[in-house]
Structure 1
């Protein structure tokens, strides 16, 4: 996966959003399941009247049912295809795509840009309500109902203990050859005037099920079923705890992806490919 387009091609950055409820996640899958990647790649092939599919690389592969407001991807197109369609590409994509996915911007990417490896953080929001009446029907596809009162102060105290660089194996679904070491840059909770409680979770990267597992642990603290120190103890144990519940995906939204200054994009991309270990750890654990 190169950080530069091949000769004769131009790398484009796409900014997009989607409602994930009717998608089987981001990544194209065998068997004809509907995915965000498949939808956009098919639309791009159609509107450019191309005989081949141009593959997208995305900042964060979202699971089935997860939404995105600030997703970023890149695609490499032949220069002549871009020059022919650049003025009308965005409008044509809008006419071809389904209403639950939108591309908001398409433009040439700066040198060294890789949507996945150049990113320095991803910010997610998870929304939940503890209102005894349930979820506002207009928000039901984006807010989880938790039928116990939640103590936001206790959840913030517990979340603060997890911020920093750690091995999050206890909160991730392991994948062969992949590290579970991540730097959690921010984890906080806030109750809005409408009663919806929003978790803001920002990290350099996330492993599979990490955000939903972290949220599940905090809900157990917030409703009093577990003490404030329990999530930190789970983290220290370093193994999956059956008591950590992976909450449903519909409350989760990828809100924003952060990138460094243009002149640092290629450097960041190389760093992100390095194998990570914690201080004092005995050897590397997978990649990125």
Structure 2
């Protein structure tokens, strides 16, 4: 266990996340894990980690870290305007950091969520075989001022690596995503469903549990209440006000609202990286 960072400023919201805790949904425990699995796993490959290690997931910026030990890291995901001692830091490649340096993430240029991935991952307590923080389940919490973050191992790999520019994901605050149809389509008025698939919705806020949208309200034939059933990352619930909610990584495992569809897995990173005010259009997966 190597002291790696001291948190000078905790930023908007930062948590330790690994690949999550599958196998416990029947007990009401979500998988959690990274909001943007693509950026997380690409970072793990860059660091030559095995994918089971943890990263620090950061929303929107504001984080300042003091480096406590020489180490090797990669930063992937959103461009949150990161610098080291005032000099722009590289992204999507591994690089060395030195004791007493200061790393700052100021504000998002593109996307909304970044990952800081040390060689060997972070060292933190495991619950149900996972380090993933899930505050709503009383499993850990966001990073705090003066908290010490530990790396699992000292530097072992002396070779740096990175991604080709053409392979690096790009992020937009205006996205189109595909949906699998829900079995509840018959509960909505047909003209309302047609409007939904021809409209643009705006993200009005949210967190790791769900993103809330504003746009043309979906209308029910009678009622949108259903017997509670399983949900998953990407399920789109429709409460009584008709405004969709996209369930995210920490969402509840069952719900009693009718659903309009499920975002296809390949498009989940597009949703995760949206910022408040971003726009979404939905198309049916054929």
Shorter-chain TM band: under 0.3
| Structure with more of its chain in strand, by fraction | 2
| Structure with more of its chain in helix, by fraction | 1
What TM-score do the two structures reach when normalised by structure 2? 0.27
